[in-house]
């Protein structure tokens, strides 16, 4: 796969007390949530980050735009978000989506946290991964910074084989989220600068 955006990748050992996923906020339903502790294999705490110069929107406006139409910035050759619970417009805590990918990759998620500058999903039963993933935007001196941060283990032993041992799912995930960041930068009206930072901490 040909790409022109440079990657800056770092991987190091982590520790459970520093790299565990956040607790679910009070009042959020834990029904069918697939916690990281339910998964198999190592826990991966990963952060993808991109600096966007000269955006034409604020971090709040960008998050609202992304949350309002996830498929507008998702590389649909990898995945399509289908809302299965919640109002058609916007995104709220409790909304649920299924991420449609080539079988057996479909992954149900629930919105468990939402602010003006961020939203976070928890994986549900049957997802390829067990854990959480957060999307957020913040102001930066040069413009704004957009990050995707995840805390997850493989959902089961087969998923662990595909992700950790054979590395197939890992590379698909890498290209999906880096493509997502490139599209977010374009949606902001700005330009992605300095490439994409990918920092991984692995907890055995």
Q: Where are the domains of the chain?
A: 31-203
Contacts of 161 (CB under 8 A, 6+ apart): none
CATH of 31-203, one of 3.40.309.10, 3.30.530.20, 3.30.750.24, 3.40.640.10: 3.30.530.20
The average pLDDT across 183-195 equals 96
Helices 59-68 and 168-188, axial angle in degrees (round to 10): 120
End-to-end CA distance of the chain: 30
CA distance 175 to 161: 19
pLDDT, position 102: 64
The predicted-structure confidence for 4-61, as pLDDT tens digits, reads as follows 788 899 999 999 999 999 999 999 999 999 999 999 899 999 999 999 999 999 999 9
The predicted-structure confidence for 148-175, as pLDDT tens digits, reads as follows 999 999 866 666 556 554 455 667 778 8
pLDDT, position 166: 47
The predicted-structure confidence for 113-155, as pLDDT tens digits, reads as follows 999 999 999 999 988 899 999 999 999 999 999 999 999 998 6
Which tokens sit at 34?
Answer: 């697939």
């Amino acid at each position: 796969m040909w790409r022109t955006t440079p990657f800056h990748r770092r991987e190091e050992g982590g520790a459970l007390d520093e790299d565990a996923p956040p607790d679910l906020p009070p009042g959020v339903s834990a029904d069918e949530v697939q916690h990281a502790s339910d998964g198999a294999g190592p826990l991966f705490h990963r952060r993808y980050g991109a600096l966007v110069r000269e955006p034409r929107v604020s971090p709040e406006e960008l998050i609202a735009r992304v949350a309002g139409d996830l498929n507008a910035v998702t590389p649909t050759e990898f995945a399509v978000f289908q809302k299965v619970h919640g109002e058609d417009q916007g995104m709220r805590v409790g909304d649920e989506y299924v991420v449609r990918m080539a079988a057996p990759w479909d992954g149900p998620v629930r919105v468990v946290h939402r602010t003006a500058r961020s939203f976070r999903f928890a994986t549900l039963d049957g997802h390829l991964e067990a854990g959480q993933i957060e999307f957020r935007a913040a102001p930066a001196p040069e413009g704004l910074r957009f990050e995707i941060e995840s805390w997850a283990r493989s959902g089961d032993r087969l998923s662990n084989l595909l992700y950790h041992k054979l590395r197939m799912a890992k590379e698909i995930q890498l290209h999906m989220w880096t493509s997502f960041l490139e599209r977010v930068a374009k949606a902001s009206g700005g330009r992605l600068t300095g490439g994409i930072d990918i920092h991984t901490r692995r907890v055995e």
